[in-house]
Chain A
Amino acid sequence: MARNLGGFLVLIAAALIYSSALASYIFQPISDSHRSAALELFNSLGGSFPSVEETYEELRTFEVLGIDKRSDISTAACQSVSEILGSSSSTLKDLFYALKVNGILKCDIKEDVFEGVASRLQAAVSGASALLDFYYSVGGLALIKGQTTKDDLYLADAEGVFQSIKALSQSDGRWRYNSNNPESSTLAAGLALEALAGIVSLSSSEIDQSLISTTKNDILKLFDSIEKYDDGAFYFDEKLVGAREHQGALSTTSSVVRGLTAFAAVASGSLNLPSGKILGLAKIFLAIGIPGDAKDLFNQVDSLAFLESNTVSIPLILSLPATVLSLTKKDALKVKVNTVLGSNAPPLTVNLLRVFRSGSKDTLLTESQELKFDPENAVYTLDALPKSVDVGKYTFVFETVLHDSDHKNLYATGGQTRIPIFFTGVIEVDTAEIAVLDSDLGSIETKKKIDLAGDNTVSLSANHLQKLRLSFQLSTPLGHAFKPHQAILKLTHETKVEHIFLMRSSGKQFEIILDFLGMVEKFFYLSGRYNVQLTVGDAVMENSFLKAVGHINLDLPEPPEKAPQPPAQPLDPNLIHGPKAEIAHIFRVPEKLPPKELSLTFLGLTLLPFLGFLLGLLRLGVNLKNFPSSSVPAMFAALFHLGIAAVLLLYVLFWLKLDLFTTLKGLGFLGAFLMFVGHRILSHLASSSSKLKSA
């Protein structure tokens, strides 16, 4: 049990270290986890019919990550590409992305289809005024140029088009989407740079150098508006109000990276961009880790691929396979230097410049150390850690120096890199002992050693005039004093009343003395057996433990009358959250009913007066001679009686099943009928009787 808990503490400690290490500034290059994430994210799109833009993003991501999934999608994708290219009504945007898909898949498209599309795009370029039209048509033409055997594909008035795109630029390096819209956008700047790069590559003659240099100036101005995180990551943010969706910092930065790398590839001469900013752009894409969205993943992977092969400066990322190292196991400090997509860096040297203990500013190194290169694994290893490195948190400062001086303009290493590293180790626990002392003299009554590694426990007994002393020593692998996060002594009474004491240290020595005389009230005068438990734990302590030391039998005085009661123990969570007792419903006791026979007898009895009534009628000699004999009154009389019978029947139904409203509706109709026939028959009877009288 105790060992399990100890293991659990170590696990928590490791998790804490790991999460805090992530919060620090470590950037890992693209790895296999990106590949599995890409498969997962894009497969989830598979069910629906993806647009050609989504297809391109999927193919491009897989291409960069080196996942071979083309055969799965190529048939359907190629079919939609040839449909789009063959149709004269497809939009510029669809044409552009269809050509991009074709660039990856190399579908079987006929030359005359390309010619038709090229002439459409040429017409679109000369008629375009908005930035997006330029972007799609010029981009499409540049893509066609790379995909056909025709090499006489040139833009007619390249400089004119260049200037009309340039006319949309703003003084701060950003671009407007069209001339009617005064709002300028950073994302548009990226698109414009990409389009300008396309024009340069499509131009039959050299573009005027002054145009190129003003564009370079625009890029430099654009980079003045770059924003920065504390960890050295740079990004562009879109300030355009009411921007369309997917125009967050990620897609904006991604667009600028595409435009920048495309333009730098075609423009002659260097751009004079500080390499730290390019590295910072790479860092922002690596800092987001693995995005949960296919679009974000595409932007990340695509931009990193452009940065990987750009002509301004290629970022190199210094990363550590592990930032938690064990001193006891003598883990070696390993450093990797890769490009953003994880390929190997050119020959270089990694130096360890400084080592700081967290919280202090003094370096532990006297001189910088060079890390040894292992060409097989492409890993730089530090031979020996600085002697004074003990368990704890350190900051290591590395420096990368390229061997070839030509590479210095080609690669961005970022100079020095600060990396937080945790060192863990086994902490030595010494001279652990528990003793019962006499209070007045301080002489030792009983004293027992505690074996913290083994399972044996101690048993002690004491009364309220005595003291309990528990002490041990902690020292690090280097023999220094160690102060763990937690050093806790817990006494638990049989009744589960707990008392927790924090252990204080002086140097290596941890000691606590419990004077029971002063604590009888705190112990609620509870005599009996107390279990003693000792917890020592720390994030860098590999052997954190939670150990049942043993038990002590305390003999405390009887409580006085007004002694405080021990607090109620927290209820067992099962009692609070477990199933409740079943609810017994109380129903109304049914009324006592008479025997059935009695009720039926009385039912018969109530019929008796009716029989008497009928007999009486017979005795009186009642007859139906007055019933009208002529047909019409007889019919009315019959209807009258039938009507009454119907109303009574309706009442019976009302009693049995109908509700009041249905009954009243029926009664309304029957009542009207009854009034009519009743009036007819009764007035007939009245007239005949008055005739009789008068006669």
Chain B
Amino acid sequence: MRLAGVILIAMVAGFLMWATRDLPLRGDPQSPASTHVSVYYIENALVDSKTPNMVTAVLADYRGFDTFGEAVVVVAAALSCLLILLRRRDDEGVVDDPDERRHAMGRGDP
């Protein structure tokens, strides 16, 4: 079983290395990434939004919706941490400990 895993990983690694031959060279001006919208951003970021730092213009303006999603993910992460780890005291002053809660649900001891 372990051997099968190693072989599988080696195959995937080999496949990915073989696939990198089709990637454009780093900094290639003819690559799809450099010929699509990035030309527009480089030429118009300053004109459109008065922002010398193109990265900020792309992050917060052109790709604002993506950034909004990222921000919501950060809040969701904080909320999940609190939901999993929160300890509360009920009316009788008993602390609700997440470890005991997990134990009571039958998946406690590691």
- A and B part of one assembly: no
Residues of B within 8 A of A (CB): none
Residues of A within 8 A of B (CB): none
